[in-house]
Amino acid sequence: MDHSKKTYYTVCPYNCWPINCGISVTTCAGKITEIKGNKYHDFSKGRLCIKGQSCGEIQNNGHRLLNPLRRKGERGSNEWERISWDDALDIMAEKMSRNINNNHREANGIYHSHGNIVQRINWKILTPRFANLLGMTLWDGNFPCWYDVGVAQELTGYWGLHDPVEMGTYAGGVINWAQDPCASMANMVPYILQIKDRGGIVVTIDPRVTQTAALSDFHIRPRLGSDVYLANAVAYILLKENVFDKDFVQNHSFGFDLYKTHMSTFTPKKGAEMCEIPLSEIERLADIYANVKPLCTNLTRGALGKHWNGVQMVRSILCLIALSGNVGVKGGGGVWGEGVDWNLKLNGAVRRRKDIAYPPNNFNAIDHALETKTVNTLLVVGGNPLSQWPNLNRLRRQLKELDLVVVFDLFMNHTAREAGDIILPATSWIEELGLRTSNTHIYIMDKIIDTQGECKEASVWMDELAKRLGVTDYFPWKSKEDCLNDCLDSPACKGATIAKLRENPGGMRANIMDVPFNDFVFSSKSGKFEFYSQKAEELGLPALPVHEEPIEGVRSTPELAKEFPLALISARRNTHFHSFHNSHRFNPTLDAVEPEPLLWMHPKDAAKRSLKDGDYAEMFNRRGSGVVKIELTTEVSEGHVSLNDCWPELNEVTQSISAVSPHVTDALGLGGQPCYQNTLVNLKCLRRPKTPFKKGVSGLP
């Protein structure tokens, strides 16, 4: 056996864009001896947050699924027997072929997400290819995550995809609008500090005092859901003071006059009243948008998209970015989303069949398809609906009524345990060859160690299943490397091959524009930045950004607020990333840091309920209830409570409707996530302290 040490380069499996922190893995005799940050990585330069540092705990984890399993008892009884891959695939083929033979291919559904299937190529290419060749309904894990932001961008025609190095090097300031990089995407923080070190300004807009807010020069705490008023009041001042980018407006925008008239109704005085902040804070923010050049607005994804009015919030901010002259400017821009793979012409992709009426990819449509059994078999690939989707009681029942539920994962997650019939064991991030892309770079994720137990790559078992169902050309390549090279054969990836990527441990820059939108060509109907959105008008949406109160809120539903007076913020903290690895609980390091749902609560709100720091309390509304541990802090304002998202036991108290109306999501071909930031709750002290979970991973199912 070769006992020499070998070092491989890969990226963190937690899928944070746009950083994708680099990791180096050293092995000896096929065993991992060290996992650490990759100092050659262009952005992360060897730094890893606690999630990245502990990602080595995923592989040799006693809770890993290592063999296919079949349910023995009732659904949800958590009794399993080991079966062979052949038996598992035969059972699946038998159930799925019924729908195919009955001419209802779309009744075979697949929900795929990036939870464990972190290899970009699986998520973006190979799983959709499998579903499309078989005519299956395909639901993409993006729908619970960020599509409102996508809709807003689609309506303006603007996707500002900049990279963190550019921001750190050129921005004169950054506005973290509803973003907390210290908790999520920690490797953005050095670039924010770089701006500060150069004398630039750092602003955070967040109702909570986050770590990012603490390092900022200026922190605005608007009322939850009032962001349209804040952005539009700033626009009002820029327009009134005549300090906007006239060249951009004249040459590269559409509908400016209508926008200007519309903005005249958003006076700063009204903005201050609606946002519940001093007028001076709006004036100071306007001064920053008018005078700091270039100014980057860090929107990333997620936070604003979890609001009922998230699309309008993001649109109003995108308009502000354009108005202040920060579009197509190095160090400016507005959105830190994913990028390169929008430009990849990946050859492995297969288009969906047009002869099938697929249930769309948004929450309302999925709910309807499950309720009516339009979809009756469901393959869950790298996702965990019983952690991520709302209205869990209903979803739990719907899943249990399906003909077949198969879960492919690293661990026995909530969905597998409660609704699964067949469980398939997945390879982890370093047991298969793959790729990842950021806004600007392409990275290899190499196969570093042997596959554990009987785990298989998704594309391997999908090929075996496809053949059983009569599709023989799902995986026409001789090897995974051939497949990936074929996928990389596109203008955006010019020159990149697996061999070249192995030679470039810091990743390879994609062949894309240096600065997004510096050609001022926008993906809107007019080809310009649309202050007035023609697409929105066609879809029956407001063509200009408007404020709408949350569907539940102290102002919008005052009667309900008497019963449930606290507005719940569903936030991200640095120990969670969605429901990865069963909501982090199979990672001992992360589990030890936050083993229970901690609810931030203002001391005055706690005193009204006789709650003390460390108490357990029942959090409830009319939809459901769950147990939380109280953490007293003034970092959340009175009337608000804040909880890390992805605690399945508590999802029942969150909203159960899509934040974007289905006709919009269907028309745009985008998903529509459930909105979380519109939930009113109340709390009561549990008379006897009760531990909601046993401590540590041993308390897991």
Q: Cα angle at 194 between 193 and 199, to 5 degrees?
A: 95
Q: Min. distance of Cβ 576 from ligand SF4 in angstroms?
A: 10
Contact (Cβ atoms closer than 8 angstroms) between residue 349 and residue 128: yes
Choice between 398 and 574, CB closer to ligand SF4: 574
Residue 583 beta carbon to ligand SF4: minimum distance, rounded to whole angstroms: 15
Least distance to ligand SF4, CB of residue 7, Å: 18
Torsion angle in degrees (nearest 10) through CA of 675, 374, 110, 78: 90
Name residues whose C-beta falls within 8 Å of residue 401's C-beta, 6 or more positions apart in sequence: 373
Distance CA 98, CA 75 (A): 22
Contact 190, 37 (CB under 8 A): no
Q: Which residue number, 49 or 282, has a Cβ lying nearer to ligand SF4? A: 49
Give least dist CB 443 to ligand SF4, A: 11
Please, how many CA atoms are within 13 Å of residue 103, restricted to the half-sphere of its CB? 1
Closest Cα partner for 225 from 209, 198, 203, 206?
A: 206
- As measured in angstroms, the least distance from the Cβ of 469 to ligand SF4 is 36
Three-state SS across 486-534? HHHCCHHHCCCCHHHHHHCCCCEECCCCCCCCCCCCCCCCCCCEECCCH
CA-CA-CA-CA dihedral for 426, 430, 431, 433, to nearest 10? 110
Which tokens belong to 6? 């070998």
Residue 164 or 672 having the CB closest to ligand SF4: 164
Q: Which is nearer to ligand SF4, 362 or 644 (CB)?
A: 644
* Runs of H (alpha helix) within 431-507: 458-468, 480-488, 498-503
Could you tell me the sign of the dihedral formed by the alpha carbons of 479, 482, 486, 487, in that order? positive
Footprint of ligand SF4 (CB under 6 A): 12, 14, 16, 19-21, 48-49, 51-52, 185-187
Give whichever of 259 and 411 is closer to ligand SF4, judged by the CB atom.
Answer: 411
Location of structure tokens 């070998």: 6
Minimum distance from residue 525 beta carbon to ligand SF4 (Å): 36
Closest CA to 573 of 596, 545, 555: 596
- Closest to ligand SF4 by CB, 46 vs 624, is 46
**35 three-state secondary structure:** strand
- Closest CB to ligand SF4 among residues 183, 569: 183
Give whichever of 51 and 301 is closer to ligand SF4, judged by the CB atom: 51
Closest distance between ligand SF4 and the C-beta of residue 51, in Å?
Answer: 4
Provide, rounded to whole angstroms, the least separation between the CB of residue 210 and ligand SF4.
15
Report d(CA 379, CA 377) in Å as an integer.
Answer: 7
Whose Cβ is closer to ligand SF4: residue 19's or residue 405's?
19
Closest distance to ligand SF4 from the beta carbon of 582 (Å): 16
Instruction: Report d(CA 289, CA 334) in Å as an integer.
Output: 12
Query: For residue 687, with 0-12 CB atoms within 10 Å meaning exposed, 13-18 middle and 19 or more buried, which class applies?
Result: exposed
Closest approach of Cβ 181 to ligand SF4, in Å?
A: 9
* Min separation Cβ 21 and ligand SF4, Å: 3
Q: Which is nearer to ligand SF4, 53 or 297 (CB)?
A: 53
> What 3-state DSSP class applies to 412?
coil
* Peptide bond before residue 18 is cis, with ω within 30 degrees of 0: yes
Q: How far is the CB of 648 from ligand SF4 (least distance, A)?
A: 21
CA contacts within 13 A on the Cβ side of 28 = 6
CB closest to ligand SF4, residue no: 52
Nearer to ligand SF4, 316 or 587 (CB): 587
Cβ closer to ligand SF4: 17 or 532?
17
Measured between alpha carbons, how far is 305 from 544 in angstroms, rounded to an integer?
18
User: In the chain, what are the helix, strand and coil shares in percent, each to the nearest 5?
Assistant: 35, 20, 45
Q: Provide, rounded to whole angstroms, the least separation between the CB of residue 19 and ligand SF4.
A: 5
As measured in angstroms, the least distance from the Cβ of 43 to ligand SF4 is 9
Q: How big is the chain, counted in residues?
A: 701
CB of 248 within 8 A of CB of 213?
no
Nearer to ligand SF4, 20 or 210 (CB): 20
Residue nearer to ligand SF4 on the CB measure, 16 or 598 = 16
